[in-house]
Amino acid sequence: MKQISILGSTGSIGTNALRVVEANPEHFSVRYLTAGKNAERLIEQARKFHPKVVAIADETLANEVHNELRPLHIEVLSGKTGINDLAAATDVDLVLNAIVGSAGLEPSYNALKAGKNIALSNKESLVMAGELINRLLIEKNLKIFPVDSEHSAIWQCIVGEDNKNIRRIILTGSGGPFRTFPIEQFDHITPEQALKHPTWNMGKKITIDSATMMNKGLEIIEAHYLFGVAPENIEVVIHPQSIVHSMVEFIDGSIKAQMGLPDMKLPIQYALGYPERLPVVWENTDFMKIRELTFEAPDFAKFPSLKLAYNALQRGGTAPAILNVVNEYAVYAFLENKIRFIDIPRFVEDALTDLSIVDNPELGDILEVEQSGREFVERKVR
């Protein structure tokens, strides 16, 4: 039985991961849970799964969590330190990092420093610090098991293959809610419209990233560091049905595709159970209901975030971290109706020009981007 930590257990990925655990009680046991601010859900999860320790990032909620869980003798930690302490715990077999945004970088780094393999949903860890993370993987002889549906698909396609035989990676994306929306109306898009994703049910931040297609941009960078494929050999294809989760073309022209319904429990279960495939079927794929699978090229004029991601990856250094952090805080500003939808990629483009880029960064350099990027967005909003 695998002992696992779930960092970010109250979010979309975390709650789906716990559904996977519940469906496979003979395979998984939860040792640690962490949350950001959702104390009520964390308490509910702790009562159900009986972890040894939980941590909540918002220190003002620690007493509430502690009082509710005291009868169960579950220890409660809080703040950034508490999250990082549980990320670095060594008495687990696998750490699932489902924390949203740049806050997930340090927990990923600390888990790897502690010698733990990671099931990674927090794409920001690799976007911001891909070179640093990859050095740790080699140094510690560890692995990352990707949880994003696209990267899980690529991983499944290349099992048993030699990476030198990969010609290109083809990342699929639904195109989000504005695939057919007139570009002339983009400056009137509201948060309510942007949060209505046509196929996936996700958290607010990643749903907005899907609407701007920055999620594909971040996935380009993540795929580069996960699979060692050059940026020019990573392509994005719009696939509205979200059934083909990604594809790999090999040097002989053969293409492998991984397919399934748009359900995050599938890649989560594959990552947690690897190298086994666990015999749980959430819902069967009925091709007679789907009927057609279509593909089209992305519109770079509507979705400039794609080009910005390619440019940041080519530039290297802290450029991808700047892209990530400024996008994240711009998304939050948009959700609060402080900026327009079209301002999100504009802020990112300006930041990549205006902010200093550090080559060959260490962790401290990358963490400084968190502050400088946040301050940059605050100035632009004002």
Range of weakest confidence among 66-70, 95-99, 284-288: 284-288
The model's confidence at residue 25, banded by pLDDT at 50, 70 and 90, is very high
CB burial readout 144-179, b (16+ within 10 A) else e: bbbbbbbbbbbbbbbeeeeeeebebbbbbbbbbbbb
- Report pLDDT digits (tens) over 303-337: 999 999 999 999 999 999 999 999 999 999 999 99
> For 369-379, how does the pLDDT look when each residue is reduced to its tens digit (9 = 90+)?
999 999 999 99
**pLDDT given for residue 284 in this prediction:** 86
Instruction: Label residue 197 by pLDDT band (50, 70, 90).
Output: confident
Residue 329 has what pLDDT? Answer: 97
Under a CB-based contact definition with an 8 Å cutoff, are residues 87 and 65 in contact?
no
Do 55 and 5 touch, CB atoms closer than 8 A? no
What rounded mean pLDDT belongs to the chain? 96
83-142, pLDDT tens digit by residue?
999 999 999 999 999 999 899 999 999 999 999 999 999 999 999 999 999 999 999 999
Helix (H, G, I), strand (E, B) or coil at 291: coil
Cis peptide before 51 (omega within 30 of 0): no
Is 80 exceeded by the pLDDT of residue 202? no
Q: What is the pLDDT at residue 162? A: 95
Provide the CATH number for the domain formed by 2-142 in this structure: 3.40.50.720
Amino acid 315: pLDDT: 96
Q: Which residue has the higher pLDDT, 204 or 350?
A: 350
Q: Name the band, by pLDDT with cuts 50, 70 and 90, for residue 281.
A: confident
CATH of 151-381, one of 3.40.1110.10, 3.10.450.50, 1.10.4160.10, 1.10.1740.10: 1.10.1740.10
The answer, as to whether pTM is greater than 0.75, is yes
**130's tokens:** 């891909």
| pLDDT score at 1 | 92
Domains of the chain, residue spans:
2-142, 151-381
Taking the C-alpha atoms of residue 55 and residue 77, their distance in angstroms, rounded to an integer, is 4
